[in-house]
Structure 1
């Protein structure tokens, strides 16, 4: 089985659904020039991966047929340049109202994130809080690697930063992340950032120690 060809065909199906809207199996078969059985095999894989969804559509004549469309998960596969818009808006705000107002936005975002996640920390030990924080950051795209040291401390490495281009220009975003960690982990933890992607590091690295 040619795995590369299978992946390429699935990408073509996703692109077709993105550009042409919901399509039936027969419509995709005509576009791709492959058998209906092959199309269904690819659709089964994409549906299993939660990238497409089907809906039974009634027709004026004949039997109802399934039409396939992209899910929200699939939309993440297509290029998005939100960081450019974000930077443009922040620069406009800074120009009009000053750097303090930009910093205030990051502070308010930090408080909102703390409120969103603090209930997940309630009643948990420091170890479980660290594990929960790792799960939160992973779910948000930070590609976390967590290591527990012999002395009971943790090394939390983030190999990706979804807001890196913003943080490169507005370092207060990084300060707010550190403060969020401290707030969520509680007073029994000492949190120190050892390395930062926005400041030229290869990753964001945090040392978390019990007090």
Structure 2
């Protein structure tokens, strides 16, 4: 079986479990028209990726059989509209409460993030704080790399922005991220490239406060 067909069958099995709930190998085999051996191969692959959970079900006649359901992490494989919902809510807030309310909302988010991460910066050198900020941003999906430019100077690049759609519409998102970096690093931080403005990445130049 070629790779494309293997991938397609995996997706179909995941969709079946999403829409129909618990299914046995026999159920899946019957619906897909493929052998139970082929189904088991796909099930094994999905279990290996921690996408399935197994439950032993007793039957009125015969031996108990395994049925399969989606593991919680499999839910992330299905389409979500979280970002559109966020944009719609922000638009409603802007229309009803005005620009000042939007700015206070983003500033409040910035303050919460500072409070959450400030302890991770204490008693560290600037280089250690930059490294820690990279860890934090990578934990949040920003795909960061950084390098030293000179003594107490660094380039910090984010190759992905999970909130790009929000930042494209609301400049406050980028402004607050810049302020967050300056406060967490206790350093001079300048943004030289920005994904929300059409660049291929966000780039920050970080240097010791003078």
Place the TM-score, normalised by the shorter chain, in its bin.
0.7 to 0.9
- Unaligned 5+ residue runs, structure 2? none
Q: 1:178 to 1:64 in 2, by over 3 A?
A: farther
After TM superposition, the score normalised by the length of structure 1 is: 0.87
Distance (whole Å) between structure 2 residues aligned to residue 137 and residue 24 of structure 1? 41
Residue equivalent to 2:196 = 198
Residue 101 of structure 2 aligns to a residue in which SS? helix
Q: Normalising by structure 2, report the TM-score.
A: 0.87
Moved more, 8-17 or 136-145: 136-145
- Partner of residue 205, structure 2: 207
Q: Which blocks of at least 5 consecutive residues in structure 1 are unaligned?
A: none
Q: Which string of whole-angstrom CA distances, capped at 9 and with x for unpartnered residues, describes residues 48-82 of structure 1?
A: 22222223333444433322222332222222122
Aligned residues: 209
How far the C-alpha of 1:101 sits from its partner, in A, is 0.8
User: Bigger radius of gyration, 1 or 2?
Assistant: 2
Q: Deviations over 1:110-149 (max 9, x none)?
A: 1222222233333433333322222222222222233333
Paired with 2:125 and 2:167, the residues of 1 have a C-alpha distance of 31
Q: Where has structure 1 moved over 6 Å in runs of 4 or more?
A: none
Of 164-173 and 75-84, the range deviating more from structure 2: 75-84
Tell me by how many angstroms 1:151 deviates. 4.3
1:181 aligned counterpart, secondary structure? helix
Q: 1:109, 1:88 → 2: CA distance? A: 18
Aligned-CA RMSD value: 2.1
